[in-house]
Amino acid sequence: MKQKIVIIDYHTGNILSVFKAMNQFRGIVVEVSNNPQVIESADKIILPGVGHFGKAMESLTQLGLVETLNKHVLIQKKPVLGICLGMQLMATSSEEGNCAGLNWVPGHVKRIQTTYSLRYKIPHTGWNTLKQQHRSPMLKMITPDDEFYFVHAYHFEVDDAAHALCSTSYEHEFVSGVENAHIFGVQFHPEKSHDQGLQLFRNFINL
């Protein structure tokens, strides 16, 4: 039986590009849905996202997805990958909207602060590299020279450094990936990061 990966649709951007990227892999079934029955059938979950933290949490709540996701991620322990805002939603809280998150990875989302605003503009947009913080199957075959595409104005400050999967420098170093057991998140967009982005998706599939 093919592995099934469900991309959560909670009315945010970049869902189609994630779907297209995942559909390049053989041996898996990829579906976009917010239907609890479809999510129930998933082997793994992807939580994408572009936009405002507070509005995204409101959308998850209105769709009844918070309870559904908690069931599958926290109780059934299905592997999950959060992308950009999807990663930030895994935090305890965020300054953006001043509201609580899913609290899957203890920490807080804060606006990026830079000293040299002419050089380091907010949002941080463009290509950057990763510094691996600990060995992980999620970063298999990814090298320090590989560049990934970022676009974000907020960053994730983890409470426990052990949950920092990788970091990136943009004037200051910030956490660009998190890992807490079967829970993974990346601040960058693998679906827009060419071959190295596909490698990260491949690693998630192969967990």
Task: Determine whether 182 is an active site residue.
Answer: no
Contact 188, 148 (CB under 8 A): yes
Angle subtended by helix axes 194-205 and 15-22, to nearest 10: 70
Task: Determine whether 99 is an active site residue.
Answer: no
Query: Annotated catalytic residue: which of 67, 99, 189, 194?
Result: 189
Burial 189-201 (b: 16+ CB within 10 A, else e): bbbbbeebbbbbb
Task: Name the token pair of 179.
Answer: 């890992």
Contact 46, 89 (CB under 8 A): no
Task: Determine whether 189 is an active site residue.
Answer: yes
Cβ-based neighbours of 189, under 8 Å, separated by 6 or more: 14, 17, 83, 84, 148, 149, 150, 151, 197
Query: Annotated catalytic residue: which of 72, 84, 124, 166?
Result: 84
Give catalytic residues, as residue numbers.
Answer: 84, 189, 191
